[in-house]
Structure formats: structure tokens, C-alpha cells
């Protein structure tokens, strides 16, 4: 009995320590995310009511997901979903599977999604979800059971008119298909609009799987000429060779940019004369690792290169650096080592606010995530529209609509940065805040109720 009590007390102490550690990490993460608003607020005219409402998420959900493993054992996984704001429409945001997922990370991501949707003028609010799990340790059957169990747990929290999940880190169209199917089973009716990023055969949109990278390419290709940069005289390094990073690297390579370095979670490769990105993508798909190769038909040869770490890649002397992995990759510890002139954030939150200040002093242009990686949620919006109308678009039509919206909003952000002489991140938040403020104020403000005036 004493032994059992001792074990319980030890477990309780461990839980308390872990809880405190997560609180410290999350406070700094969310505080870092929300601090980006401070500069933007100086340049907008929105009510105090709107500012107050944007300080807090509308609703947060934590769930426990029991999973029967293939060996018969039972494991419990923690899942989360946060709907930060839905003033402009249903919540919208991805679901990530990662060992480091916490409620606080999810809240920060939902916060960013709120501004991303406003910036792109999408009729959505911001949301995000995740499960604390290493998906690489699960079999495919376990992964399916976990995904369906997650939907079972949050089914009352989501819906085509309430909150619409999508893929994120380590989730894909197959997982979205399982989730949509499970929600439809629960509702006893087909509900394709509850999830975006599904397989095309289940109501998904053409181009959704490549939308984040494609949208980023449109932004990069439209803004770099403002600095006198052309593809032929621009070198690029891409940190993160997953779905988004590999797509944008491939599109830049095909457009004539010299992509000299790429990396994944294990490490990367660098070749000063440039890499053959299509060959590397093919090799990564077949062997699950990066190699500096050139392929002609079925014959592949190793090209002259250096093996580098992710830290090495971030410090390369290149024109364009594209962090496309996880958040906080560029921080106060390594910001001084950054040599790239232009950083395009394809990942969510890869540059901390402290690093932002260092990079700004160095004259480095940082193009923010809420603009650069918004192609995914934009095509998710297209998919949602197609699901609701029953009319489906060709890939060329999807990409034309995506390009028009991404380039249009990139130009507006650029114009705001020039008008107010502010950095591009601040300009993006000014743009998003103006749209959010209008929607929030439309519900009534203190001045309206006290003075009978609408701003």
C-alpha cells in the first residue's frame, strides 16, 4: 500500500513539474506571438473592445484519446482544438501530429490563423488543432484509429459552419479523409465540408496538396523584383523539405532560381553551383531521406556537395532563406549569424520577435508567415466553397485564383509597409487588424452603446 502511495505521489509531482514547464514554455510562445500586434496597433483605428476581444481565444478544448495498440496494449494520447476567433466566419486551421504539441502551441497557431484568414480576406476565423504524438512510431492501422478517435472526441466542436480542420505538420490527405469519414458516420450523412485537404476522390480540391508551397512561390516571385532580383541572380536555401518546402523549392528551381541548399529534420545538403531539386524530391519520396543527386531517367548520380546541419543552412550566405520547418528556428541565439538578405516564412512562426528585432537592425527583409504560407488556407477555402456548391474546378482554375489572391494581398502588404515605413510583418498585421477590427466593431462598441455612434 505504501509503495502504491509513493508511486502516486511521484506521478503527481512529475505531472505538476511538467505542467509548470509547459506553462512557462507556452506563456513565452503565445506572448511572443501576440507581441507582434503592439507595433501594428499604432497604425490602426479600431475600438478598445476589438483589441480586448483579440487578447483571448474564444474557446479551447483538450481531450484524451484512448488508442488500442496493435500489440493489444492501451495508450492515451492528448488532443487539442482551439478556436481563437470566429467573427469573420467559421474557425479554420490545420491539425498537427507532433511529440511537442501543447495546448499553448495550438493556441498560438490559432492566433496566427485568425490574422492569416483576415489578411487574405477569407470568410473564416482562426483555429488550430493537434495531438501530442510521434506519428512515425505508429502503424498505419494505429494512425487511422487515432485519427478517428480524435474526431470522436471533438465532433461536437467542429462542423462545416462552425470549425473546419485541415492538414498540418505530419498530417496529410489520407488522414483528412479518415476524419471526414468518421465525422460523416457520427452525423449519419455525408459531410465533405467539415474537413479540407481531403483526397480529390472524397471531395478534395485540385491543388490543395501543393497549395502552401505554390502560394509561397507566387509571393516570392512577385516581391523579389521590387529589389531588382531576378531568378538567374538569386540563390536560395530551404530549411524543411516536407510538403511545403519541397514544393516551393521545386517551383523556384523550375523558374530558374539557384537552389543551393535544402534540409530536413535529419540534416541537409549544400552545393554552391545549385541542386537538382526534382531529383532530390524523387529520391526523398522513394528513400525517405535527402541526397544530393542528379537523375537522368532511372539513373541517379551523387553530385559534388557538402553535408550540412539545419543550423549550417540557416547561416549560409544566400540571397533568399526559406524556413519551412517548425516555429522558433531563428531566434536571439542565431539571428546574428543570418546572412540572407530576404527571409520568406513558409513555416508558422519560424522567427521569434527577438530575432525579428535583430534582423531588422541588420537590414534583412522578413516576409511574414501570415502572408507567405497562406496558400494552404486559401485553397482550403476554395475546397470548402466547392463542397458547398457541388461544382469542382480544374487545377489551372484553382492556381489562377490562388495566384490572383496571393499576389494581390502581397502587393497590399508591400504598399502598407511603404506608406507607414514599417517592416513587412507589421504591415501584414496592420492589414489583418483593419479587417478584423471592422468585423468586431460591427457587432457594437462602447461608443455605440454610450454615445450612439458607430466608428
Catalytic residue among 128, 198, 258, 341: 128
In terms of domains, do 171 and 285 share one? Answer: no
Range of the domain at 177: 57-191
- Any bridge partners for residue 96, and if so which? 130
Cell (9 digits) for 256: 530558374
pLDDT, tens only, 33-69: 677 777 888 898 888 888 888 888 999 999 999 999 9
Q: What is the CATH number of the domain that holds 303?
A: 3.40.50.720
In terms of domains, do 119 and 174 share one? Answer: yes
Residue 6 lies in a domain: no
Higher pLDDT among residues 44 and 205, named by residue = 205
- Any bridge partners for residue 66, and if so which? 76
Identify the pLDDT of residue 250: 96
Cell (9 digits) for 384: 470548402
From the list 87, 84, 65, the residue with the least C-alpha distance to 76 is 65
Which are the contacts of 368, defined by CB distance < 8 A and separation ≥ 6? Answer: 345, 424, 425, 428, 429
Residue 3 lies in a domain: no
In terms of domains, do 140 and 187 share one? Answer: yes
Q: Which of 163, 191, 219 is the last residue of a domain?
A: 191
The answer to whether residue 42 is catalytic is: no
Identify the pLDDT of residue 452: 63
C-alpha span between 37 and 19 (Å, rounded): 28
In terms of domains, do 278 and 337 share one? Answer: yes
Q: Which of 142, 162, 191 is the last residue of a domain?
A: 191
Out of 8-17, 37-46, 150-159, 392-401, least confident range? 8-17
C-alpha span between 415 and 396 (Å, rounded): 28
Residue 226 lies in a domain: yes
Neighbour order of strands in the sheet with 74-85: 59-68, 74-85, 125-132, 91-98, 163-167
Q: Which of 321, 348, 372 is the last residue of a domain?
A: 372
pLDDT-based confidence at residue 454 (cuts at 50, 70, 90): low
C-alpha span between 106 and 249 (Å, rounded): 27
Residue 352 lies in a domain: yes
pLDDT, tens only, 117-139: 999 999 999 999 999 999 999 99
Cell (9 digits) for 304: 559534388
In terms of domains, do 182 and 275 share one? Answer: no
Residue 326 lies in a domain: yes
Q: What is the CATH number of the domain that holds 159?
A: 3.40.50.10860
pLDDT at residue 349 above 70? yes
Reported residue count of the chain is 455
In terms of domains, do 359 and 218 share one? Answer: yes
In terms of domains, do 218 and 133 share one? Answer: no
Higher pLDDT among residues 17 and 203, named by residue = 203
Residue 9 lies in a domain: no
Q: How many CA atoms lie within 13 A of 48 on its CB side?
A: 3
In terms of domains, do 217 and 341 share one? Answer: yes
In terms of domains, do 184 and 226 share one? Answer: no
Q: Domain total for the chain?
A: 2
| Average pLDDT, integer, range 71-85 | 97
Which are the contacts of 107, defined by CB distance < 8 A and separation ≥ 6? Answer: 26, 30, 57, 60, 82, 84, 128
C-alpha span between 73 and 96 (Å, rounded): 24
In terms of domains, do 135 and 252 share one? Answer: no
| Average pLDDT, integer, range 211-219 | 97
In terms of domains, do 76 and 176 share one? Answer: yes
pTM for the predicted model, two decimal places: 0.87
Residue 234 lies in a domain: yes
Higher pLDDT among residues 327 and 331, named by residue = 331
Across the chain, mean pLDDT equals 89
Dihedral, 316, 322, 326, 329 alpha carbons, nearest 10: 40
In terms of domains, do 179 and 228 share one? Answer: no
Which are the contacts of 398, defined by CB distance < 8 A and separation ≥ 6? Answer: 205, 206, 207, 379, 382
pLDDT-based confidence at residue 305 (cuts at 50, 70, 90): confident
Residue 393 lies in a domain: no
Helix axes 103-119, 424-441, angle to 10 degrees: 80
Looking at 36-111, which runs of residues are DSSP E strands? 59-68, 74-85, 91-98
Amino acid at each position: 500500500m505504501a509503495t502504491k502511495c509513493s508511486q502516486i505521489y511521484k506521478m503527481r509531482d512529475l505531472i505538476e513539474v511538467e505542467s509548470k514547464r509547459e506553462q512557462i514554455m507556452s506563456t513565452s510562445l503565445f506572448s511572443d506571438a501576440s507581441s507582434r500586434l503592439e507595433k501594428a496597433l499604432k497604425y490602426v483605428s479600431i475600438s478598445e473592445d476589438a483589441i480586448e476581444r483579440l487578447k483571448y481565444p474564444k474557446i479551447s478544448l483538450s481531450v484524451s484519446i484512448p488508442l488500442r495498440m496493435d500489440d493489444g496494449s492501451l495508450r492515451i494520447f492528448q488532443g487539442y482544438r482551439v478556436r481563437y476567433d470566429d467573427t469573420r466566419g467559421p474557425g479554420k486551421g490545420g491539425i498537427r501530429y507532433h511529440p511537442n504539441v501543447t495546448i499553448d502551441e495550438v493556441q498560438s497557431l490559432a492566433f496566427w490563423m485568425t490574422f492569416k484568414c483576415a489578411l487574405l480576406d477569407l470568410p473564416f476565423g482562426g483555429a488550430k488543432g493537434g495531438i501530442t504524438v510521434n506519428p512515425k512510431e505508429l502503424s498505419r492501422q494505429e494512425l487511422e484509429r487515432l485519427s478517428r478517435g480524435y474526431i470522436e472526441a471533438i465532433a461536437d466542436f467542429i462542423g462545416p459552419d462552425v470549425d473546419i480542420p485541415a492538414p498540418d505538420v505530419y498530417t496529410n490527405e489520407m488522414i483528412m479523409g479518415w476524419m471526414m469519414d468518421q465525422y460523416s458516420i457520427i452525423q449519419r450523412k455525408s459531410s465533405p465540408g467539415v474537413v479540407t485537404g481531403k483526397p480529390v476522390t472524397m471531395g478534395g480540391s485540385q491543388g490543395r496538396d501543393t497549395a502552401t508551397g505554390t502560394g509561397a512561390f507566387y509571393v516570392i516571385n512577385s516581391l523579389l523584383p521590387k529589389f531588382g532580383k531576378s531568378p538567374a541572380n538569386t540563390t536560395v536555401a530551404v530549411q524543411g523539405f516536407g510538403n511545403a518546402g519541397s514544393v516551393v523549392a521545386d517551383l523556384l528551381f523550375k523558374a530558374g532560381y539557384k537552389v543551393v541548399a535544402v534540409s530536413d529534420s535529419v540534416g541537409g545538403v549544400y552545393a554552391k553551383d545549385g541542386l537538382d531539386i526534382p531529383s532530390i524530391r524523387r529520391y526523398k519520396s522513394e528513400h525517405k531521406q535527402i541526397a544530393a543527386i542528379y537523375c537522368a531517367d532511372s539513373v541517379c548520380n551523387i553530385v559534388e556537395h557538402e553535408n550540412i546541419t539545419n543550423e549550417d543552412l540557416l547561416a549560409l550566405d544566400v540571397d533568399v532563406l526559406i524556413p519551412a520547418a517548425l516555429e522558433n528556428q531563428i531566434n536571439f541565439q542565431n539571428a546574428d549569424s543570418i546572412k540572407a538578405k530576404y527571409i520568406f516564412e513558409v513555416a508558422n512562426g519560424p522567427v521569434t520577435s527577438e530575432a525579428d528585432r535583430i534582423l531588422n537592425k541588420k537590414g534583412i527583409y522578413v516576409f511574414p508567415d501570415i502572408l507567405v504560407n497562406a496558400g494552404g488556407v486559401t485553397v482550403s477555402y476554395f475546397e470548402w466553397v466547392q463542397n458547398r456548391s457541388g461544382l469542382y474546378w480544374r487545377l489551372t482554375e484553382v492556381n489562377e485564383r490562388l495566384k490572383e489572391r496571393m499576389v494581390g494581398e502581397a502587393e497590399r502588404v508591400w504598399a502598407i509597409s511603404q506608406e507607414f515605413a514599417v517592416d513587412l510583418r507589421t504591415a501584414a498585421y496592420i492589414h489583418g487588424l483593419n479587417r478584423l477590427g471592422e468585423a468586431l466593431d460591427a457587432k457594437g462598441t462602447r461608443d455605440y452603446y454610450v454615445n450612439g455612434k458607430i466608428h
